[in-house]
Structure 1
């Protein structure tokens, strides 16, 4: 049984979802369902946010993230449990009595269309629950001030990694390396690539 705090959190998310037209909710859900079916590499909340803003719906970053996480968790859980569309809607109504009827109809329709595919993909995903590297960018810079460097004016490489976490959210990680560290990193990547070609 959910705690009062959990129910309050669900209520806030449903309040945010109720601000969305059926078309906007369908857009967000289809984006998430595409990820859960393995058709796209991750859920870009920025794309969803842009679409909402173009339609005149302004949500703060936290509210948008909560909606995306809620929909991801809802569809993922329904996929793992192999719920029917009717059972999914019943669970949503049990979690909050604030659901607009139009929103529930969108959820029902989309789950009827995509639920079986999500269930099949969830069975595969259970075997492969690790983060995935989607993109790697780097740039060369020059240190002009630092607490850690003994000699300034030394070159460094800044790496920016784009990673899809097992939850489906895309996150960005960045770090800096000295030139020798970067050369060693490059060498290790080449060794990994060579090993992967033999598999």
Structure 2
């Protein structure tokens, strides 16, 4: 007789991410833009920087969290509690198109995520105002998105509608302080980053202040 041993292997796929950011933002010539770059918590104390260029291997470092940009063109700040750094680019021109959010890795290859700017002299979207074609989305950076008229993000109820032509209105209900952070709305391939701050309203009365 032959004994057959049946071995069942369970293969688990693990998703890795290092940096999350928007992919394409429309901005106006001469203006400024702030871009959020979300990173994993284990990189809290690492140096972060902005790299300019279309290709990862040949981009140029323009500002780091440990070195200021003397020209004032670029600035960077790191929120180590919410694990994102914000890069600001001033006085935009049509040459400012391709950038990388980067986390510096000691004794290893740095991690970078690409984003693109569409710099134009015409009208650009303000918050969620845009005439670009495509499906509207409201997303939390690094989390899920809501498409259509309703949904939820991290347990917060989200409803959306077009309040007037080309204006996308978002209502979020049941907000908590931990819902503060970077969100973005999009129509088609254009994204618009929005920072949401949730503060608790103090309760006051004649007997309790």
Point out the structure with the larger strand share: 2
Point out the structure with the larger helix share: 1
Structure-1-length-normalised TM-score? 0.22
Structure-2-length-normalised TM-score? 0.22
